[in-house]
A and B are shown apart, each in its own frame.
Chain A
């Protein structure tokens, strides 16, 4: 298999995530876009781990991808807690409404 295929898929996922973070105003949708970007990073790690010559493989790419998986789960937990707090205090999850520290 050509190594460029999964890498370009990861680039597509990352850029779609960037677009979602920049364009959507719903805080939960922004979290989902961040998830897309994390998924792109894990694909990149696994692919670069698989590019290395067979004898030198230490599975470092997959182990780092596992770490990113766990950190992504923690990030969603914290992010949703913050979104719940935002909703309780401002009665809205529009991230444009969370502008108390803007000025």
Chain B
């Protein structure tokens, strides 16, 4: 458990401090695998493999696709504010100190009686006791996926907003190509031509 925790904690730290976004996504894989290892050590077999399938298999691939589609700066990121980093360290470090102290003082002597939960036992509870919440969860997932498609779909007349506050002062323009900024940039080559 200690080894899994050390590996997971170290790779989690690398996720948030790494300058390269793709490296951060790959460190996230290591962190989520160590979380799955923790589940295995706690006797939650099915949950561990579900974690590997859903997170390592789907979520990280989705994040990598997101990075690809947004053409994010794959290389080292531009300089982020140094001051903000130190300000962010205060609440997170303080929260960790408080949480670790409280956890240790409350559960420092509690032992876990390990019990391997068979998938069939889990399924009996899930489909009998928790059947209705499970169906609501399925409905929720469907709504979320349809919503994601609707949000990400390209709509008519959608495009990059012109820079500055043109969007606020010009509520009438509907097509991005008719904005003054675009017209100006498109007109430049004709003026340059001899």
Inter-subunit contact B92/A19 (CB<8 Å): yes
Q: Are A4 and B107 in touch, CB under 8 angstroms? A: yes
In the complex, identify which listed stretch (B59-67, B177-185, B186-194) lies at the interface while the others stay far away: B59-67
> Which residues from 104 to 129 on chain B have a C-beta closer than 8 Å to any C-beta of chain A?
104, 107-115, 117, 121-122, 125-126, 129
**In the complex the two chains form, is A16's CB within 8 Å of B92's CB?**
yes
What are 5 residue pairs bridging A and B, where the CB atoms are less than 8 Å apart in the complex? A8-B103, A39-B55, A43-B35, A63-B130, A93-B72
Query: 8 Å CB contacts to B: which residues of A31-80?
Result: 31-33, 35-36, 39, 42-43, 46-47, 50-51, 53-54, 57-60, 62-63, 65-67, 69-78, 80
**How many residues of chain A have a CB within 8 Å of chain B?**
72
Within the assembled complex, what's the spacing in Å between the Cα atoms of A10 and B38?
10
User: Bound state CA distance, A58 and B145, in angstroms?
Assistant: 31
Given A28-B70, A32-B24, A84-B66: A59 in contact with B122 (beta carbons within 8 A): yes
- Known pairs A12-B9, A82-B151; A73 contacts B159 (CB<8 A): no
Known: A11-B103, A13-B8, A57-B115. Is A5-B43 also a contact (CB below 8 A)? no
Q: What DSSP secondary structure best describes chain A's contact surface?
A: helix
Chain A residue nearest in CB terms to B104:
A4
A14 and B100 CA atoms in complex are apart in Å by: 11
Per-position contact with A for B76-93: 1 when CB-CB < 8 Å, else 0?
A: 010011001101110111
Q: Which residue of B lies closest to A31 (CB)?
A: B63
By a CB distance below 8 angstroms, the chain B residues around A77 are: 62, 144-145, 148
Q: Are B141 and A23 in contact (CB under 8 A)?
A: no
A-B CB contacts (within 8 Å), total count: 255
User: Interface residue tally of chain B, by bracket?
Assistant: 35 or more
Q: Known contacts being A62-B44, A78-B147, is A16 close to B59, with CB within 8 Å?
A: no
Q: B126-145 CB contact bits vs A (8 Å, 1 = yes)?
A: 10011001000100110011
Which one, B16, B99, B108, contacts A23 given CB within 8 A? B16
Q: Are A16 and B110 in contact (CB under 8 A)?
A: no
Residue among B51, B114, B152 with most chain A CB within 10 A: B152
The minimal Cβ–Cβ distance linking B82 to chain A, given in whole angstroms, is: 10
Going nearest first, the 8 A-B pairs with the smallest beta carbon separation are: A20-B16, A22-B88, A74-B144, A23-B88, A15-B96, A19-B92, A11-B99, A3-B110
Measured CB to CB, the closest approach of chain B to A77, in angstroms, equals 4
Q: Say how far B77's CB is from chain A's closest CB, in angstroms.
A: 7
Q: Which residues of the partner chain B approach A70 to less than 8 Å between Cβ atoms?
A: 54, 137, 140-141
Report B-chain residues with C-beta under 8 Å of the C-beta of A51. Answer: 107, 110, 112
